Structure 1
Amino acid sequence: MQHLLLCLISCLSWHFIQAQIFVPTSLMPRAGDTLLTAVDNLPTYIKNISSGRNQRWDFAMLEAPYIRSAVWKPASKGTAATLFKNAEFAAPVDEHTEGYYRTQGNDLLLLGAIGPDPLNLSRKSVLRYSPGLVERRYNLRYGDAFQADGNLVLTLGEDEIPSWFRKKLPVSPDSLRLRVSYDRQYDVDSYGRMIVPGGIFDVIRERRIEIIEMRLEVKVGRRRWQEVTKSVKDKELLRTQKKISYHFYASSSKEPVARVWMSSNEKKILKIEFKPRERESSIQNITSVRPDIYVSPNPAIASVRFEFYNLPPGTYKLSIFNIIGQEEWSKMYTITGNYAEQVDISQLKKGAYLYSLKDERGRTLSTKRLMVIRP
């Protein structure tokens, strides 16, 4: 009903030509702010992501199991404040990473972070960007475009190099050094009106293209650092990455109204972060989200959507059991972080079931109830 109401209001107002949106620097996050977002990892209902003037984007059908709360605090209150003395603020980048930010003119810069490295070799590394990455520029208007670069150099000692990664190297190093370059292009290519579960907003859209290149160096004994990028056995690990995302901003919201991550050919939507309805889902601090699995709808008729959240990289088994403990369905997944998948359950009879998630060691991480109904 709420979606229909939002659509009706939107249709009545969309026939007016929207003025271009202007997002002032006064909407930059500040210490004490709490920003609320939600993430749909399976946005199958979203079709229109067109660019240009006076666009209409209907994201009202997005859904997520919970709302994420990100608290911005003075950098001095961060867990690694002494490592980023030029930072003004500390705030979570995602469930695993704490970022350190500062403002510079119209830009919000990410100076560094504490979290997993780009290769997921270490779950807690000190990441320093030089110069800081432009996470968001304010006072943008339709047609604006700019480019910004950044670099990261990360050194890991012998004890920090996992055994699985050593097997992919041409030598067994005492330490390794990862050099990462970030080339970002920003283009404000659209404006219009957008519906998200959190409301209807006049927005501008920034299209962002990021090219990430990585080089790997190793050190053995007293020898000099040696580059081994081309000698790594798994070529996918260090391949050049192209990431494309759309960022929708409104003049009435500190949070982005939506952020859309696309495949490198821009033909598939990978996930969408959006401004949620605050009263219809539990709110969790983004840094305290535990590994878990969620299902929706529940009760279900013919299909369900399983969402895996905050899982360490690894292989997992998802199973559905009947009430006497017999396995009715199962599937293996290789997951890093968050993932969602639609599963056909039309073969299950009406009744109560349990769904359970186990890791590669056979340990049960979560077991919950699933109800199957029939019309």
Structure 2
Amino acid sequence: MIRYIILFVFMSLGVLLSAQQMKWTELAQDTVYYANEYLPDGLMVTPPGPGQVWDFRSLKAPYALSRRVVVTGERDKVIYASLVNGKQTDAILQLSGNSVQIVQLIEDNPICPGNKLLYSLTPAFKPFFEGGLGETYEYHGKMQSVFAWPHDLNCTWVPAQLPDSCRVTYSLSYDIDVDGDGTLYLPTEVNDVFRQHILEKRTLKVETKRGYSWKDVTAQIPTLKTITYKEILRFVSSDTGLEWADIEIKDNYQPVRIEFKTFPLVTRIFSEKPSRPDIFAYPNPTFDVVRFQMSDLLYGRYKLKIFNILGVPVKETDVVVDDPKKTIAVDLGDLQRGTYLYRLQDGFGRTIKTKRIVLIQP
């Protein structure tokens, strides 16, 4: 969870820097779109070093997820905000001009799966690090939540005598080493980046209390993972600090999951209603397979038509919309390189949207 939050705040930082130091409070309601792909095929992650090229243009996941900062109020001259993932709050932030700190996280209860806890971070976590090649950063702290024992919930472990309270504590170790620089290619754009090699370690302790004293019961819970590790490669713009990609890796730099920035990056949205039917193409520009994602359409049958720049039809596909974010893949690799138009029509032949797509050489 904490790395998802870092992904958003790094993206937002890049927006602030490119917008002449826009304040965090002015960023409220901006929406960042991102995508996830698991076990990505053909994604080569190289060892450390300068002057590298990372080609991630094969990524195909759509941008169907969003995050935004929502200012919630002020207390003792400190502005607080919620980090909203879709419709759910994931974290509480402290905003101060161009700086931000994560003070609380909402994460799973390790004893009672399916339930969430509000954890406080001590000290507050500063998610920004924009060091150059060879620089390092460390964070060591605790993430803790205290709650009344849930008598009405199913938990993986129940003590012989039900306690009054339970305390869950994670000791956090977060080490960053900027181990590479070079050029990063994503499906929609290219940038010069620094690569951050991140090692995250969590050590879990569970305590219960009856009366006035706390008792460590971690060893009594057989299914509990007391120590967890994560290894992440983060690609950050060398110009703005904007994060472009976050890759979770295993042994020998094998990627198991990638979260990456998609287009549009940030759209200032103050009200998402009324919504209108729309269609997006990604990657754009492209050289072969294109994902077309439709939104806010009535369920039913539609046609997707591709025209050359002169308006001559070159391809047509029938689409059955049965999902709010219906996505289809169309191979345009057999068409000549150049600019084309794509048009979505309903069952009566009425045009929903017409947009442009560009085919380039691979």
TM-score by length of 2: 0.60
Corresponding residue for 2:222?
233
Corresponding residue for 1:72?
69
Residue correspondence of structure 1 range 25-104 to structure 2 within 5 A: 26=17, 30-33=24-27, 34-42=30-38, 43-76=40-73, 86-92=78-84, 96-102=88-94
The code of the aligned residue for 2:154 comes to S
Corresponding residue for 1:137?
129
State the 1:61 CA deviation: 1.3
Higher strand proportion: 2
Alpha carbons of 1:126 and 1:87: their partners in 2 closer, same or farther (altered >3 Å)?
farther
Corresponding residue for 2:300?
none
Corresponding residue for 2:103?
111
Corresponding residue for 2:153?
162
Does residue 1:268 correspond to 2:289, yes or no?
Answer: no
State the 1:123 CA deviation: 3.7
1:199 alignment partner, one of 189, 198, 204? 189
Answer whether contact 1:48 1:58 (CA < 8 A) is retained: no
Give 3-state SS (helix, strand or coil) of 1:31's partner: helix
The code of the aligned residue for 1:217 comes to E
Residue correspondence of structure 1 range 304-323 to structure 2 within 5 A: none
Give 3-state SS (helix, strand or coil) of 1:136's partner: coil
Give 3-state SS (helix, strand or coil) of 1:276's partner: strand
Q: Distance in 1 between matches of 2:112 and 2:69?
A: 25
Answer whether contact 1:217 1:226 (CA < 8 A) is retained: yes
Alpha carbons of 1:70 and 1:224: their partners in 2 closer, same or farther (altered >3 Å)?
same
Alpha carbons of 1:166 and 1:119: their partners in 2 closer, same or farther (altered >3 Å)?
closer
State the 1:109 CA deviation: 2.6
The code of the aligned residue for 1:53 comes to P
Q: Distance in 1 between matches of 2:263 and 2:85?
A: 21
The code of the aligned residue for 1:246 comes to L
The code of the aligned residue for 1:231 comes to Q
Q: Deviations over 1:95-126 (max 9, x none)?
A: 74432234689974311134544666464432
Alpha carbons of 1:182 and 1:118: their partners in 2 closer, same or farther (altered >3 Å)?
farther
Alpha carbons of 1:94 and 1:121: their partners in 2 closer, same or farther (altered >3 Å)?
farther
Answer whether contact 1:59 1:194 (CA < 8 A) is retained: yes
1:176 alignment partner, one of 166, 175, 191? 166
TM-score by length of 1: 0.59
The code of the aligned residue for 1:153 comes to Q
Alpha carbons of 1:112 and 1:55: their partners in 2 closer, same or farther (altered >3 Å)?
same
Q: Distance in 2 between matches of 1:94 and 1:120?
A: 24
State the 1:245 CA deviation: 0.9
Give 3-state SS (helix, strand or coil) of 1:135's partner: coil
Corresponding residue for 2:120?
128
Alpha carbons of 1:124 and 1:24: their partners in 2 closer, same or farther (altered >3 Å)?
closer
Deviates more, 1:95-104 or 1:270-279: 95-104
Does residue 1:244 correspond to 2:231, yes or no?
Answer: yes
* Identity between Structure 1 and Structure 2 (%): 19
**Unaligned ranges ≥5, structure 1:** 1-22, 286-351, 357-364
Q: Distance in 1 between matches of 2:64 and 2:81?
A: 22
Alpha carbons of 1:70 and 1:25: their partners in 2 closer, same or farther (altered >3 Å)?
closer
Residue correspondence of structure 1 range 253-292 to structure 2 within 5 A: 255-263=242-250, 265=251, 267-278=253-264
Q: Distance in 2 between matches of 1:224 and 1:255?
A: 47
State the 1:127 CA deviation: 1.9
The code of the aligned residue for 1:272 comes to I
Alpha carbons of 1:69 and 1:233: their partners in 2 closer, same or farther (altered >3 Å)?
closer
State the 1:179 CA deviation: 1.2
State the 1:157 CA deviation: 1.0
Alpha carbons of 1:161 and 1:195: their partners in 2 closer, same or farther (altered >3 Å)?
farther
Answer whether contact 2:111 2:157 (CA < 8 A) is retained: no
